[in-house]
Amino acid sequence: MRAADGRKPVALLARAGAARDRLREALDAAGARIVLEEDPSAVDAATFAAAAPQAALVALEPAVEDALVALEPALEAPGLLVIFDEADLAARRDGWEAQRWIRHLAAKLHGHGDVLPPGCEQDVLIDLQPGHPATPQQLHAEDPFETHLAEAAVLAVELPQDRPGEPLPEPAAAAPAVQDWSLAAEVQVPAFERAGKEPPPLPDFSRLELVALEPENESGVKGAVLVIAGIGGPDAVRKLMAALPAEFNRPLLVQLKLDGGRYDNLVKQLARVSALPVTMAMPGDAVAAATVYVLPEGVGIEMKDEGMAFVDGAGELVASLPPAESAVVVLSGADPARVDAVLALATRGGHIAGQSLEGCYDATAVKLMAAGGAELGTPAQLAEQLALRWP
């Protein structure tokens, strides 16, 4: 196929198998031109760069983790769009789910927000704007000032006159002349009797001291940012972590349900893009500031006097967060059953936000967040909101 056909050149990095076959079909349906299709373990950075792709679609699985580390210089090239997908999900995706993913893939490749199926195009809405406000001259056009002037002239024909026989007011007394002043004149000063009692002595302040303020407990954190995601969420979580500055001082708790339970691989993936340290949450450990924690299933948090700590437990994590010092970010694939708890946190002073519908693979929970009044944004915009809230 000629390079001048207008289709975006894309590199497909995936191991041979059903996942790569499905991704190849999706790229072709999304209007892409595959310039390189190879196993990540069998290609180097120079070969990748020689293919000159404008985008790369990477199928993630444990067997290619080390190969992707070697390809990082090529994948981080300026202007290159990198899209990640889970290999096991790609292999099982079919029917309506496959068609929806193709629409989202096309939106990412071509930079538009049209992810609706054919026949669901939005009608063009005309935004009517009000005209210019009326000027003061227009407001008073039917109330000319000349009418009031004419009325005043009629009423002022005869001025009121003083009535005869009224006595004039007495003139004010004149001040004494300067020549009548005398420096030797004695001024009578009224005498004041001295009180018989002496004033009470002033209190002794030498033994007073300020009350010591209670020292702030700096050993533990009192709040955290909870990130909830599911299917289609790994890519959004990586973008959120990559956009957070290294100075962000709140701990981030990532709850991302994985089918295979390979949370150690998720820790490695986030560590490559995050400016903050990334580690696995373990029961009994204290929650430290400025750290990203990946929470496996069955790990919760508990508020203690010295701060937050991880504990064994499968209860709702949102209810354990101190509202005024915490935030919850809902991304693609989050469990819709948890939205009520998230919205309840906002009523108690917590900060909540959700991923924008553009680029969101599973937006069921996100739509419920928007219906509840939560603000939506791209992962980069959500990271900017968090950095502004806790600079």
State both tokens at 302.
Answer: 């508990």
Q: What is the pLDDT of residues 273-325, one digit of tens each?
A: 999 999 999 999 999 999 999 999 889 999 888 889 999 987 888 998 999 99
> What is the reported pLDDT for 192?
56
CA angle 353, 236, 27 (to 5 degrees): 135
Report the predicted TM-score, pTM, of the whole model to 2 decimal places: 0.56
pLDDT at 175 over 70: no
Report d(CA 283, CA 296) in Å as an integer: 10
- The tokens describing 239, both together, are 């973008």
pLDDT-derived band at 168 (thresholds 50, 70, 90) equals low
Residue 115 has pLDDT above 60, yes or no: no
Same fold, 7-110 and 225-389: yes
Q: For residues 34 and 15, what is the distance between their CA atoms, to the nearest angstrom? A: 15
- DSSP-derived pairing of the beta strands 299-304 and 307-312: antiparallel
112 in Cβ contact with 8 (< 8 Å): no
Give domain limits for the chain: 7-110, 225-389
CA terminus-to-terminus distance, the chain? 51
Q: Which fold has domain 7-110?
A: Rossmann fold (3.40.50)
* pLDDT tops 70 at residue 196: no
Closest C-alpha to 247, from 380, 370, 390: 390
We find that the CATH architecture of domain 225-389 is 3-Layer(aba) Sandwich (3.40)
pLDDT at 283: 92
> Which one has a higher pLDDT value, 367 or 170?
367
What is the average pLDDT value for the chain, to the nearest integer?
83
Does residue 264 register a pLDDT over 60?
Answer: yes
d(Cα 266, Cα 264) in Å, to the nearest integer?
5
36 vs 53: CA distance, rounded Å = 8
Largest CA-CA distance found in the chain, in angstroms, rounded: 124
Say what the pLDDT of residue 3 is: 46
State pLDDT tens for residues 21-80. 999 999 999 889 999 999 999 999 999 999 999 999 999 888 888 888 889 888 888 889
Reported residue count of the chain is: 391
Q: Is the pLDDT of residue 173 over 90?
A: no
